[in-house]
Amino acid sequence: MDSLQQKFEQVFNSIKLDDAGKTLLASDLIYSCLVNEDFTKITLILPESSSLRKTLPGQIESGLKALDEINRVAVEILSEPPAEEQGPPSQTSRPVQQPKRTAYLQNYDAVIAVASGKGGVGKSTVSVNLAIALSKMGYKVSLFDADIYGPSLPIMTGLRGERPLIENNRLIPIEAYGLHTMSIGNLVEEDASMIWRGPMVHQAIEQLLRDTEWPGGDFMILDLPPGTGDAQLTISQLCEVSGAVIVSTPQDVALLDAVKAVHMFTKVDISILGIVENMSMFVCPHCQKETPIFSTHGAEATSKKMNVPFLGGIPIDLAIRQGGDEGKPVMATDVSHVATESFKNIALNVIKSLEAL
Ligand code: ADP
């Protein structure tokens, strides 16, 4: 029986590049070929002027999808090999590498997934403010809104209604507060229904990862949809996530879901960087009295119980809500606000957790 490598080679050998019958396998156009379960990503090096850019992706996709082992195919086209590489590896003789979760976002030092067990606990608020806190420390940070069902980053970053530029068929991330961002909310009408089923969520996330010209840098912050479903699995299959930050409010119901989220990431081999307790405490702006509206310290206790780091608490505060709604995150606009200290502290703890991995 043919090995997967042989099957790939047969497909590449069946694709003719010119009238003389030169095949894709015999060419040096294939830069890399990664396989992860039923997913494969082929990277080609083709000059921008090449007419093969139009025809090859379709041929490769249909050829590989015909294999029993492969259901999903991504074809990436680069004009030249990535700068950090010393010449193309010799894939033509060995097209199938060991399965790796490095298909996308390889140009970031750390990819951090921000997740929550349930919606409305402040996951996007934490994603945006954490990203800005890291950027203010001098790191190069990108922010990807993988919350396909309810993309809120365009509103929170003041990019509502903005559309990304498209260059050479690639989406150019939109910049806000020093971050490079991309969200499906910047591509579809705001009221477009996003009641999508699993495979469509997978496709949408993958397309945004693949077709965006991510600049690379120190951190990629991924704002995941709430829950423990398809998007989390997709991300774990498509890129090497350094670790997950779980956001929860302090009530028992939210914490139960946070515990589920921790278990889910552990199952797909993604480390937990820690738990953030959002809306920990209400501090009265007049008398500074602290009121634990949603109870308090629950997330800290849960972190201890689960043996994962506690990354810090964030007060419930009008400025955080207003900053989110108005597209002016408190971390960027109000340096003296008490919440900015919380976000800075959480950013430092995230770095500590990454270093401890
Ligand atoms: P999620 O991403 O978990 O659905 P969001 O970040 O969108 O949650 O937050 C839900 C709502 O709660 C938003 O209106 C946001 O501005 C508000 N919010 C989040 N955290 C706080 C906080 N600490 N204080 C006040 N409002 C907050």
**Chain centroid to CA 184:** 12
Residue 75: name the closest of 105, 39, 99, 108 by CA.
39
In contact, 261 and 291? CB cutoff 8 Å = no
What local confidence, expressed as pLDDT, does residue 349 receive? 98
Please say if the pLDDT value at position 92 is more than 50: no
**Dist CA 173 CA 180 (whole Å):** 5
Tens-digit pLDDT profile for residues 99-112:
445 579 989 999 99
**Dist CA 130 CA 115 (whole Å):** 13
Tens-digit pLDDT profile for residues 202-251:
788 888 998 999 999 999 999 998 887 778 878 888 888 999 999 999 88
293: left (phi over 0), alpha (psi -120 to 50) or beta: alpha
Please say if the pLDDT value at position 161 is more than 50: yes
Q: Which atom of ligand 1 is nearest to the CA of 325?
A: 16
201 Cα to the center of ligand 1, angstroms = 23
**52-65 and 4-14 are packed helices; what angle lies between their axes, rounded to 10 degrees?**
140
Tens-digit pLDDT profile for residues 313-335:
999 999 999 999 999 999 999 88
CB of 152 closer than 6 A to ligand 1?
Answer: yes
**Dist CA 81 CA 46 (whole Å):** 10
Please say if the pLDDT value at position 95 is more than 60: no
CB of 122 closer than 6 A to ligand 1?
Answer: yes
CB of 120 closer than 6 A to ligand 1?
Answer: yes
DSSP string, 212-233: B----EEEEEEEPPSSSSHHHH
Amino acid at residue number 339: A
302: Cβ contacts below 8 Å, ≥ 6 apart: 248, 255, 258, 259, 275
Q: Which atom of ligand 1 is nearest to the CA of 150?
A: 4
